[in-house]
Copies of this chain bind each other. A is one copy, B any other.
Amino acid sequence: MWYNVINGVSITFEPEGKKIKTPIGTTILRAAEEAGVGIRSECGGVGSCGKCRVIVRNSNTVNRVTEIERKHLSHLEIDNGYRLACQTKILRNVIVEIPSESRLVTLKIQVLGLERIVKLNPSVRKFHLLLPKPTLCDITPDLERLLDTLSKQVQKAGDLEINYEILKELPFVLRDANWDVTVTIWNNHRIIAVEPGDTTSDLFGFAIDIGTSKIVGHLVDLTSGKTVAVGSIENPQIIHGEDVITRITFAATNNANLEMLQRLVIDGINKVLHETCKSARVNQSKVYEAVAVGNTAMHHFLLAIQPKYTALSPYVPALKRHLNVKARELNININPSGIVTVPPIIAGFVGGDAIADVLATGICVSNELSLLVDIGTNTEIFVGNSEDLLSCSCASGPAFEGMHIKHGMKAFAGAIERVSISSNFDVAYETIGSEKPTGLCGSAMIDAVAEMFKRGIINSQGRFNRQIGTPRLRENNGEIEFVIAWRHETGTGKEITVTQKDIREIQLAKAAIYAGCSILMKRKNVREKELDRVLVAGAFGNYVNPENAKVLGLLPDIPVEKMKFVGNTAIAGAKMMLLSQDVRKEADTISRKVRYLELATDPSFNVEFFKATFIPHKNLNRFPLVKSVLRSFRNVQI
């Protein structure tokens, strides 16, 4: 015994076989937490929920079955070794089996090539209750009767708030349901629904990414963590401007304009919600929470908070921390008493979508030194690791999303997504869905410009070399352009070309992004070779050629194997926040801790930007890896 007291006893968790030492008298639940073995517990270990059922192989190794356990376990179960982990104290070395129904559900959030594990722990929870009927000897009022019954499953049920509109209906709901109801609790402190019968299996959430150009929605079953439907729509605000600055200017004119922009984005959200619910056959009233991420302008538009001060020096947003608003107040058509959670932001141009990127990629919890670039009309950049993250934002324009490009388009079916040009100027390309090409998406523009540079069709300033002999380089209405696909190859019956102006747009966009990365890294005192990885998020297609991205000078010159193109991480991060209260706390921490660099205050920005308009850069020594690649292309014009 002496030995045991000092050194503790061992507990082995089956089926995984994980084993740890723990002091005598520790409960199995506590030991499991220490071992990182997830066991369900809704009551926090006070013995009231009965969810933490485990099987103890040898009953001599633990304390006797308690009265509390007898309430939750049948005789047969007790005979078969079932115990509640929170009530069972370890006395000797013990082997414990955790049945699948008692395991905490954990989820793998997939972000192209990355994966984060999230514990299923949503803000909304449901409890099925059978209330005792009132009698002359038990005149407890309706609400207190409900809370009393609930207190058997939930700690401090008596302190729960209840929405006034739910309370008003309570006397009817309870009696119509014959005192058999399901209660929905939000954030452990407020009752947001009381429904007749057992509806515990109908519990859904909605993750929303409000992009400047596209609204994406994922409908999630919060009992399993599974995504049951996805949908998207063009952001209807686009009629008031393609870019955020135009929309902010429109909103700044008067409140009616601001409210119109709010109405448009909410209409868009409601359409995606309606579609996804319809396709998954989910009643919209069973969606109790929505998490909506977006850049700071979208964030302000969604809440109808005047965003004009975010666009005027010193670029101050109205708030930073997360906000929970009743769905009813925003007219978002989930359950009217449901909650719309708007995650925190970092600064005027680094919004909740960027926080979602950080969450989804996990750069905030990794020891690896990462550079994260979310390329969009506005590009957010992060550099750092779990110790410290520095962020900035730059206006890169919508060129990589296909806008302001003569034959540009989004990454839809028919878009050319890869381009290569041979030494004799022949062009090979691939389209999304292998359809006849109808335009060029962002990744194709990166390829096209980089390939033209490598073949000497353009020089490092982006100018066409009119000396090369190919019919693909031609003049059209006074403008020079390069033909990627001939008329007979395309789905439109027209040639798909890259013009001098298109190249200029790409140069400006990539220069802004590179200058942002470069200044941010300088401020963080990080060199290219010190970076463990570069993660690129964005909507320009999933098959970006990393070498061409470097040749173009879009990204710092690091080995291609360290680069990852991770797609839409914003929606993945929003979904993680929907699934887990812990992730939300992480988001709050990120919002507080990530430092923000205002590029407008950086005196070197203009010079950096100008140098970066060259392909790949005015100073080729910054791109030693690219330089060696370029050596193999004899026509390069530096």
Interface residues of A (CB under 8 A from B): 134-145, 164, 167-168, 170-172, 175, 303-306, 308-309, 313-321, 323, 325, 329, 345, 347-348, 596, 598, 600-601
Contacts and interface: CB of A to CB of B under 8 A. Distances in A.
Given A144-B319, A164-B325, A135 B170 contact: no
Contacts of A306: 171-172
B168 A313 contact: no
B318 A167 contact: yes
A303 B321 CA distance: 33
A168 B304 contact: yes
A430 to B, nearest CB: 44
Contacts of A598: 136, 139
Contacts of A140: 316, 320
Nearest to A135: B314
A305 B136 contact: no
Given A136-B598, A171-B305, 12 more contacts: A138-B314, A139-B596, A140-B316, A140-B320, A141-B319, A142-B316, A164-B303, A164-B329, A168-B304, A168-B305, A171-B306, A175-B309
A315 B167 contact: no
A582 B314 CA distance: 45
Given A168-B303, A171-B309, A313-B136, A321 B143 contact: yes
B325 A141 contact: no
A7 to B, nearest CB: 43
Given A139-B347, A143-B318, A167 B323 contact: yes
Copies of this chain assembled into the complex: 2
B139 A348 contact: yes
Contact of A136 (B134, B141, B319, B601): B601
Contacts of A600: 136
A413 to B, nearest CB: 41
A257 to B, nearest CB: 15
A223 B237 CA distance: 48
A520 B141 CA distance: 22
A304 B168 CA distance: 7
Which 9 residue pairs across A and B have the least CB separation, nearest first? A143-B319, A141-B320, A136-B314, A141-B317, A134-B316, A142-B318, A136-B601, A171-B318, A134-B314
A325 B305 CA distance: 24
A260 to B, nearest CB: 15
Contacts of A135: 314
20 contacts: A134-B314, A136-B313, A136-B315, A139-B348, A139-B598, A140-B320, A141-B317, A141-B319, A141-B320, A142-B309, A142-B316, A142-B317, A144-B319, A144-B321, A145-B316, A164-B329, A167-B303, A167-B318, A170-B318, A175-B309
Contacts of A167: 303, 305, 318-319, 323
A316 B136 CA distance: 9
A302 to B, nearest CB: 12
Given A144-B320, A144-B321, A314 B170 contact: no
A27 to B, nearest CB: 32
Contacts of A175: 309
Contacts of A304: 168
Contacts of A168: 303-305
Contacts of A601: 136-137
A573 B600 CA distance: 59
Contacts of A143: 318-321
A321 B157 CA distance: 13
A630 B313 CA distance: 91
A371 to B, nearest CB: 23
Contacts of A329: 164
